Structure 1
């Protein structure tokens, strides 16, 4: 009899626990409910702000941002994945308090690469707003709270705070346009362009020496920089690479077999034959690169 009573108690306890689990799993997520409520409140604040300031704003249904263009450039270049966007911005709360900005007076625009795995230091709201504008355009962007915003939840910008961005898009440049601008600025327009997009310019020739061949080990001196001049790698003593085996980036494999022992060249390359959309620390995603290369030997 005692065994039956114990079993009944155990069965009741298990049932009670199961019922509690069901109730918990079916209960609404209080965090999600709070986010929804705050989002609606933000929408009301933004709509009231638009009315009070007599703005003509259009809501983007995908991002939830409200865009009021103050300078419209219909023929401007729209940013797509891989493009470099340079911009100025001022971020304010709706009460007018400035929270953040670029160094507009010093003419130091912000820079972001569209589609990069990380948007860098800027907020998701600003990043999304930039993608809705074209080169040369200016706009007021009103943004409700974004839970992915990495700069909210502080004294200047408490969590769940809607914001205003005043944005100027300085330029939108594809990788190809960035490379063309660099070649023109550096006087390298005579560089050969190959089917891959590689630019190759021999800067020191040794026509009587042997061409580098696939499968050889070449000793190379080199310096690598970004288009802005920042150096990310160099080897002045020379290091050995296996040619044409994928041991180096595709641009190197292509360039080295155009060279002879003792020759020097400058190559400029798109990220498709460099480090691609992921980049490689400290090389950003979608970054065109410049290398100065010297073939010391090839065996």
Structure 2
């Protein structure tokens, strides 16, 4: 990294630790919000390898990833382990609206693992250019923006932060904790509306479900269709689950098919 930076080394700062991420921030916004643990950061970037030539010089190598290829920013929860540590640590040094360049040692990137289908070899040093912190939001702000963008009429917002919107009424009873229920559902990320899971007939005991479901489904009657929008504190919290990263607010479109027992 130091060889690549050369005479420009003094213009870069370094995150704490024996091995830190080098970062240079431009377009300073000293009065803007800074991302902290649990907040959602929206970031654009271009990622390159640093390559060592035969003469010992270090140059910018191949592009391995860029948000421009998918035409949308990366949205992630700060300190959620969903992104590599060096990138997360450097974004935490920025404020909304600022731009930056990052240089990550391999130990704060992918370490001894290959990644990006072999585009990133083991022990690779990474360069991120055109990093821009577009937005910093709370999970509730993300949920409110999803509600507004999708013209959802909220029936109830609970004290825990759950939004419940009834789409069509049911004719049966309200379920209770220990009943066996069957639901159909579609799960989406509140950040961008991406569909994560679908299940036309999911059986479970109500008391075994995530907190947001336990609370929200008890507001529904059998036969009802509703939308439940919930912060990660009511879903998969700081650990995540499978394809769901930590600190991710979720949207469930649910039909309560039955409740028995």
Question: Structure 1 282/69 Cα, relative in aligned 2: closer, same or farther at 3 Å?
Answer: closer
Give me the whole-angstrom Cα distance separating, in 2, the residues matched to 1:166 and 1:95: 20
The number of residues matched between the two structures is 246
Say which SS state the counterpart of residue 76 (structure 1) adopts.
coil
| Unpaired segments ≥5 residues, structure 1 | 1-41
Question: Structure 1 71/293 Cα, relative in aligned 2: closer, same or farther at 3 Å?
Answer: same
Superposed CA deviations along residues 234-268 of structure 1, whole A, max 9, x for unmatched, are 332x343323x2x1111111112212222221111
More strand by share: 2
Give me the whole-angstrom Cα distance separating, in 2, the residues matched to 1:105 and 1:221: 34
Question: Structure 1 258/58 Cα, relative in aligned 2: closer, same or farther at 3 Å?
Answer: same
Give me the whole-angstrom Cα distance separating, in 2, the residues matched to 1:223 and 1:83: 25
8 Å contact from structure 2 (residues 100, 130) kept in 1: yes
More helix by share: 1
Give me the whole-angstrom Cα distance separating, in 2, the residues matched to 1:263 and 1:145: 52
Give me the whole-angstrom Cα distance separating, in 2, the residues matched to 1:215 and 1:157: 51
1:48 aligned to 2:7? Answer: yes
Q: Which among 1, 23, 35 is matched to residue 79 of structure 1?
A: 35
8 Å contact from structure 2 (residues 182, 256) kept in 1: yes
1:149 aligned to 2:112? Answer: no
8 Å contact from structure 2 (residues 109, 125) kept in 1: no
- Find the counterpart in structure 2 of residue 33 from structure 1: none
Give me the whole-angstrom Cα distance separating, in 2, the residues matched to 1:67 and 1:133: 10
1:217 aligned to 2:190? Answer: no
Superposed CA deviations along residues 127-151 of structure 1, whole A, max 9, x for unmatched, are 321121112111234x374434327
CA RMSD of aligned residues (A): 3.3
Give the TM-score of the pair, scaled to structure 1. 0.69
Q: Whose radius of gyration is greater, 1 or 2?
A: 1
Give the TM-score of the pair, scaled to structure 2. 0.77
8 Å contact from structure 1 (residues 90, 98) kept in 2: no
Aligned ranges 1:21-60 → 2 under 5 Å: 42-43=1-2, 46=5, 48-50=7-9, 56-60=11-15
